[in-house]
């Protein structure tokens, strides 16, 4: 039996033929089947991948799906039945895959965005359809907070930045925010009364005060991203890339 591989988009189509040239069977798999996402799709969503390869509209999304297998995240147009079925299978059956819907921008999470890594954080900007997907959330950037413009993703940008803490020489306390440059490993109630500034989102622990003022919200630990807020001019997001 003779085997050959034909590439369509970024999907590997493996056709098995009989010696006389008659097609015996056809299978369709993602090109990257060695990653956690790709391995899962190969075993759990093989039928949906094959159906996508056989569908003219879904076939145009193949390169996007292969990005999922490689990077674990992609955006696809799920208005087509075969495309939607594959995306649903990947999301429900494979924990390492995230195939998000892209649409007309009528609701958050359906606008195409362009994302990339910048030093130790990631940033996304509203973009035209077809932008290469890149996962940008508090999973891809550990202990981070995602803040963006109030109209994002329709316009503007959004960044997921790791929370960092630094020692405050004047008070002997500490301060944490996505904008700090320090490397203090902890900043909590052991360092003083901890408060989040509702305007800047910065969290500080001060041993010289007994309680937060009218602009502060008390917390137990400033080094935890969940306790940090965005600046008052920005909006908090669970993810910048969805």
List Cα–Cα distances, 124 to 76, 132, 154, in angstroms. 17, 11, 12
Q: What is the predicted pLDDT for the residue at 41?
A: 85
Q: What is the predicted pLDDT for the residue at 21?
A: 40
CA-CA distance, 123 to 145, in Å (whole number)?
12
Residues of the chain with pLDDT under 50: 1-26, 103-110
CA-CA distance, 113 to 241, in Å (whole number)?
7
Q: What is the predicted pLDDT for the residue at 188?
A: 92
Q: What is the predicted pLDDT for the residue at 221?
A: 93
Backbone dihedral angles phi then psi of residue 47, each to the nearest 5 degrees: -65, -40
User: Kind and range of the H or E element at 64?
Assistant: helix 62-71
- Using DSSP's 3-state secondary structure scheme, residue 91 falls into helix
pTM above 0.85, yes or no: no
CA-CA distance, 113 to 131, in Å (whole number)?
7
> Which candidate, 241, 242, 233, places its Cα nearest to that of 121?
241
Q: What is the predicted pLDDT for the residue at 73?
A: 65
Q: What is the predicted pLDDT for the residue at 74?
A: 67
Structure tokens at 234: 């920005």
> Which candidate, 223, 169, 179, 177, places its Cα nearest to that of 202?
177
Q: What is the predicted pLDDT for the residue at 2?
A: 27
Q: What is the predicted pLDDT for the residue at 152?
A: 86
Q: What is the predicted pLDDT for the residue at 29?
A: 63
């Amino acid at each position: 039996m003779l085997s050959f591989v034909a590439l369509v988009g970024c999907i590997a189509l493996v056709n098995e033929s009989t010696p006389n040239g008659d097609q015996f069977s056809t299978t369709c798999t993602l090109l990257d089947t060695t990653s956690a996402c790709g391995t899962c799709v190969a075993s759990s969503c093989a039928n949906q991948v094959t159906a996508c390869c056989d569908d003219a509209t879904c076939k145009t999304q193949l390169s996007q799906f292969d990005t999922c297998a490689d990077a674990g995240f992609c955006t696809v147009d799920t208005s087509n039945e075969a495309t939607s079925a594959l995306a649903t299978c990947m999301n429900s059956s494979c924990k390492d895959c995230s195939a998000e819907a892209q649409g007309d921008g009528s609701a958050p999470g359906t606008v195409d965005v362009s994302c990339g890594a910048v030093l130790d954080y990631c940033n996304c900007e509203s973009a035209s359809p077809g932008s290469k997907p890149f996962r940008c959330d508090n999973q891809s950037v550990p202990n981070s907070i995602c803040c963006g413009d109030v109209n994002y993703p329709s316009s503007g940008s959004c960044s997921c930045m790791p929370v960092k803490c630094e020692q405050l020489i004047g008070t002997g306390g500490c301060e944490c925010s996505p904008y700090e440059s320090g490397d203090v490993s902890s900043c909590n109630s052991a360092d003083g009364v901890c408060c989040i500034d509702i305007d800047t989102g910065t969290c500080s622990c001060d041993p010289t005060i007994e309680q937060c003022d009218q602009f502060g919200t008390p917390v137990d630990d400033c080094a935890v991203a969940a306790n940090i807020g965005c600046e008052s001019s920005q909006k908090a997001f669970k993810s910048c890339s969805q």
